[in-house]
């Protein structure tokens, strides 16, 4: 019911403005005492993606951070000096942070308008993998003069690397290591309440379809503003939000304290397409990890088959490190173990020691410098 309510509110206003617009990425970087620059990366299919870089040691191999579904580059810096991106910059890495198509920073196209053209939203994680990542990787390597980069992907931000490695295997040679935070490819054991939201998605999807709405939970939408309103209602609002977040992705109150939660919901959600969420739900309902299912007729036209083809993970030869949370309701251990057993080049498989470690602790956790950065630094140093 919560997802249905938020979606209905989103339909009422997909562009409701907030009275207090938070700092953008560049302002956050300045606030925390560093410098950044941003670039426009144009994909082969015309999307204009905003790419950020934190000024650091440019002699080092670049590290690309890629956010998860409904998120943006902000997720890697809103913890300030305790965040993943700023810790990496402090350690001297050349840090780049991507924004996938359709989020608040990448809501542009050379021809299509996100507000007027339905075709703008005709994408899923598939297009992110075969268009967004190649364009971003090539831009960074050309800009830095390096032959390879390292990558850290959170949630869907690592899913799209499996798409890339599967369908464009030449890019495996351009990635020294891909570190998967909350790995998602096989996505079949989501726990309640996450599984309940997946089950109700067809109803929510129906609301979007009959109202011709393709953009889901954009930044500053009415639904996002409702969540912010609730989470800012003092201790009671905090408890309600923690319960809601914990039910969906798992949550550890020691890692997501009241003041930070108020800040986090100012930056999340940041928008995606209906088709993207549809693709994720399709994966949960299948037995594997396949391309988008358009239905019997269109599948025959596009794929010459009644079913969409599976992504061949045997082609993903880049080294992949899988970091798994014991309290992750989305990227659960059973699915991560299956992914580990299928990928041909697993550099590390690490179950986070803290039993309450959740899906969002990888990017929002209070103690990122203690429990995550030593692992990241070790992997990056090993594969640089």
Q: Which position has the higher pLDDT, 232 or 186? A: 186
How far, in whole angstroms, is CA 302 from its chain's centroid?
A: 27
In this prediction, residue 205 carries a pLDDT of 86
pLDDT confidence band for 3 (50 / 70 / 90): very low
What is the torsional sign of CA 248, 252, 253, 259? negative
- Looking at the chain, the whole-number percentage of residues with pLDDT higher than 70 is 91
User: For 75-122, how does the pLDDT look when each residue is reduced to its tens digit (9 = 90+)?
Assistant: 999 999 999 999 999 999 999 999 999 999 999 999 999 999 999 999
**Mean per-residue pLDDT over the chain, rounded:** 90
Q: What domains lie within the chain, and their CATH numbers? A: 2-383 (3.40.50.1820)
Distance of CA 211 to the CA centre of its chain: 26
Q: Is 155 a catalytic residue?
A: yes
Which of 119-128, 163-172, 213-222, 238-247 is least confident?
238-247
Q: Among the options 155, 176, 221, 223, which is catalytic? A: 155
Q: What is the pLDDT of residue 8?
A: 43
pLDDT band at 59 (very low <50, low <70, confident <90, very high): confident
Question: Looking at the chain, which runs of residues are DSSP E strands?
Answer: 36-42, 47-54, 62-66, 94-97, 108-109, 149-154, 175-181, 215-216, 272-273, 320-324, 346-351
**101-110, 148-157, 218-227, 240-249: lowest mean pLDDT where?**
240-249
Whole-angstrom Cα distance, residue 90 to residue 101?
Answer: 28
Q: What's the rounded mean pLDDT across residues 120-140? A: 98
Tens of pLDDT, residues 253-298: 789 888 898 888 899 999 999 999 999 999 998 989 999 999 999 9
Q: Return the pLDDT at 194.
A: 67
- pTM exceeds 0.85: yes
State residue 12's pLDDT score: 39
Determine which of 241-250, 330-339, 360-369 has the lowest per-residue pLDDT on average.
241-250
């Amino acid at each position: 019911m919560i997802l249905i309510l938020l979606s209905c509110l989103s339909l009422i206003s997909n562009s409701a403005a907030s009275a207090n617009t938070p700092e953008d990425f560049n302002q956050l970087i300045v606030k925390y005492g560093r410098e950044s620059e941003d670039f426009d990366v144009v994909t082969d299919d015309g999307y204009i993606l905003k790419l950020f870089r934190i000024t650091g040691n440019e002699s080092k191999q670049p590290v690309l951070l890629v956010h998860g579904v409904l998120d943006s580059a902000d997720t890697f810096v809103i913890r300030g000096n305790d965040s993943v991106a700023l810790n990496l910059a402090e350690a001297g890495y050349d840090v780049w942070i991507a924004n996938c198509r359709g989020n608040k920073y990448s809501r542009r196209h050379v021809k299509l308008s996100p507000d007027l053209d339905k075709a703008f939203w005709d994408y899923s994680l598939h297009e992110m993998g075969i268009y967004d990542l190649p364009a971003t990787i090539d831009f960074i390597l050309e800009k830095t003069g390096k032959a390879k980069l390292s990558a850290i992907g959170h949630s869907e931000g690592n899913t799209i690397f499996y798409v890339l490695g599967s369908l464009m295997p030449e890019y495996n040679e351009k990635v020294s290591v891909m570190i998967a935070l909350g790995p998602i490819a096989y996505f079949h054991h989501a726990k309640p309440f996450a599984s309940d939201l997946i089950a109700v998605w067809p109803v929510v999807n129906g609301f979007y379809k009959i109202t011709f709405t393709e953009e889901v939970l954009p930044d500053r939408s009415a639904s996002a503003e409702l969540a912010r309103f609730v989470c800012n209602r003092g201790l009671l609002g905090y408890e309600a939000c923690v319960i809601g977040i914990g039910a969906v992705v798992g949550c550890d109150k020691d890692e997501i304290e009241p003041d930070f939660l108020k800040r986090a919901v100012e930056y999340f959600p940041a928008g995606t397409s209906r088709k993207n969420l549809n693709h994720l739900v399709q994966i949960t309902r299948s037995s594997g990890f396949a391309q988008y299912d358009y239905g019997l007729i269109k599948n025959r036209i596009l794929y010459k088959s009644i079913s969409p083809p599976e992504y061949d993970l045997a082609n993903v030869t880049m080294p992949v490190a899988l970091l798994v949370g014991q309290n992750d309701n989305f990227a659960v251990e059973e699915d991560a173990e299956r992914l580990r057993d299928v990928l041909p080049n697993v550099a590390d498989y690490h179950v986070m020691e803290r039993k309450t470690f959740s899906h969002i602790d990888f990017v929002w956790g209070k103690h990122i410098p203690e429990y995550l950065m030593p692992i990241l630094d070790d992997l990056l140093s090993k594969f640089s």
